[in-house]
Amino acid sequence: MIHLKYETRNFDTLKCMKEDQAKQRIEKLKQEIHYHRRLYFVEDRQEISDSALDSLKHELVQLEKEYPDLITHDSPSQRIGGEPLSAFKKVTHTERMLSLNDAFSFDEVKEWEGRLIRLLGTKQWSYFVDVKFDGLAMSIMYENGVFARAATRGDGIIGEDVTQNVRTIESIPLKLEGKSIPRRVEVRGEVMMMKDEFERVNKQLKKDNKEIYANPRNLSAGSIRQLDPKITASRKLRFFGWDVETSPWGVSDETWQRHVSRSDQYEFLKSFGIPTSGHHAVCHTLDEVEKIYHKIERIREKLPYWIDGIVVKVNEIDVAQKAGIVGKAPRAAVAWKFPAEEVTTVVKDIQVQVGRTGVLTPVALFEPVRVAGTTVSRATLHNQAEIDRLGVRIGDTVIIRKAGDIIPEVVQVLPKLRPRSARPFRIPSACPICHSRIESKKIGKGEQGVGLYCTNKQCFAQQVNALIHFVSRSAFDMRGLKDKLIELFVQQGLISEPADLFDLTVDALKILKGFKNKKARNIVDAIQSRTHISLDRFIYALGIPQVGAQTARALANDLKSLNNLKSATEDALMAIEDIGPIVAKNVREWFCDRLHQQIITRLLSKIAIESQTGKAQSKKLQGLIFVFTGELSEYSREEAEELVRSLGGKAMSSVSKDTDYVVVGDGPGSKLTKAEQLGVKVVDEGEFVKMTRV
């Protein structure tokens, strides 16, 4: 390595350089900057100060400005810049980007090994273990050793081209190091937001009166998906590699072909100048794997980035390939997740929220705490029966847990820490928003099945939440109308019911603070593009209590028209499959309400309902039984089950010998294991989409 002097050259001196001199200087600068980048990001050490490195970069930029023809794709100057994008292009992955099945206990990991042994015979493999990053999976393609393209995982088959943004990440080499580099190589890994950078960015967002991010994964994804690469560059993201592939897999380079194990792959990553976690290990037994798991669990809080478990893979690649794939995941790998974190906090207050149907829900408020990598400051208490069961009071110290690492919940009260000032809580006898009378309604079994409702249909909270529901994805799907916008429009008296949305004009919106012509036009266009809707979506959009998208589909398919639905008796409604007495009563009462009749009359003067007959003709899945497990990327669980029913099939909640297909998404549960035991056909989301395409 040729070391340079670390002073910024006078720009006038640069102008006097001949082009061949400039070319030599640029090459030396690039080598030197790449060298120090590797020291910092791969070897975690420095030989020069940050300011000295900045000085070298500054000189390079100035030289390239003077001689733009000498700029190359692997130049450090190309990390930052580029014009803002209007949208991200779609990219088809050369090889599918698979996700991993989860295990939540050592017993589940042993069950995973047992399935492998039954599939492959006598165990003749070792395990490669690494941390499970809590970031954004990324594919980076290198052509002749030079950074060429970066793409998100997407659905595993098609991702988004985020090349310009990923190019700004300093820890990613724009040119691979080493002598034996395949002509085309793909590096896969995780884009991460370090803990200190996460705090810095959120602090700045708060200072700018902008919405802060609850967790680093969302901030990483949001940073990568910025249309302006300069914003991405300002976020100081990091990249850690965990997989390397050639494309196609077979190449002639003998050195490369020797990478027959995951541990060999990591050595190649290091030789290329790609950072890895530094916490990987090869284990020969699951007992060794368990020790690594507990070791990493103990140090996870001290790591500079967030992790949520470990990844265990069969180390020998040829064995892993024999094991194959199930759903969206390789059989020869598993993610052993850390248990849901539990933290203690003090309940500062209990507030009552009013939903779109008028239901009153108590919510515990507390000082923000981090649980399973996410900052939370509230948790639902469901109803008065749950408050009484827990015995929770305002001022109590409680244990908070993320249920399934997603939903915060109050698990337990610690009564020995209760202060004398702790106050019991009762849901008030009047609506906390409009102060109208409340009444109780039976919505299920036992005490937990009783809900309290505000009786004022024109309550501000009900209006806002009903309109938020109306524009949601499964209803009218009006993109761009966020919750805060709906609340603002109601506050300003622009809307109070669904039909009012279609009367909004650009001129009316431009009066509001922060609304310029383009923003107002986009909102009006989004609304006017949704004046035709299917009957099932229309029914769902009405917000009838306990009528979800699936129930709305059943009503639409059976009754065919809105008039038939409006005139249906409770007995007629209960004759429809999956419609019980409570739902039938809710539907009948909703359509008998005079205010609701007026809402529909006004709405029908603005929109047209498409024929349900045409939508129900295809019966591609007639007689087939489907079960879903894991999280789908294109559908919610309810939407996927609804789609199956619309095509003549049945969607069930459990696997049996009668099940025809189990559709596997990210993080499948025990249903996948049972499907394999019973020999039920397992398909991933991509195959399901093909099956349901009309």
Enzyme catalytic residues: 132
Smallest CA-to-CA distance from 400 within 338, 352, 345 is with 345
Length of the chain: 694
Cα 305 from Cα 193, distance rounded (Å) = 7
566 within 8 A of 591, measured Cβ to Cβ: yes
At 229, give phi and psi (nearest 5°): -60, -25
Determine the 3-state secondary structure of 381 from DSSP: coil
Decide the pairing of beta strands 681-684 and 661-664: parallel
How many other β-carbons are positioned within 10 Å of the β-carbon of residue 50? Answer: 10
Cα 320 from Cα 318, distance rounded (Å) = 5
* Structure tokens given for 83: 């014009």
* Structure tokens given for 89: 């292009």
Smallest CA-to-CA distance from 118 within 676, 684, 681 is with 676
Beta bridge partners of 539: none
* Structure tokens given for 656: 């049996």
The H or E element spanning position 22 is helix 19-41
108 within 8 A of 118, measured Cβ to Cβ: no
Smallest CA-to-CA distance from 129 within 334, 422, 433 is with 334
Q: What is the 3-state secondary structure (H, E, C) of 469-518?
A: HHCCCCCCCCCCCCHHHHHHHHHCCCCCCHHHHCCCCHHHHHCCCCCCHH
Q: CA–CA distance from 642 to each of 458, 581, 652 (Å)?
A: 31, 21, 11
Decide the pairing of beta strands 136-143 and 90-92: unpaired
202 within 8 A of 118, measured Cβ to Cβ: no
Beta bridge partners of 335: 102, 311
596 within 8 A of 632, measured Cβ to Cβ: no
Place of tokens 């696997």: 655
Smallest CA-to-CA distance from 330 within 342, 346, 341, 319 is with 319
Smallest CA-to-CA distance from 500 within 489, 515, 485 is with 489
* Structure tokens given for 298: 């103990």
* Structure tokens given for 619: 């019966």
Q: What is the DSSP letter of 86?
A: S
Cα 401 from Cα 376, distance rounded (Å) = 10
**Alpha-carbon torsion (258, 261, 265, 268), positive or negative:** negative
Smallest CA-to-CA distance from 242 within 131, 373, 100 is with 131
Cα 83 from Cα 86, distance rounded (Å) = 10
* Structure tokens given for 623: 């007689």
How many other β-carbons are positioned within 10 Å of the β-carbon of residue 372? Answer: 23
Smallest CA-to-CA distance from 150 within 79, 60, 198 is with 79
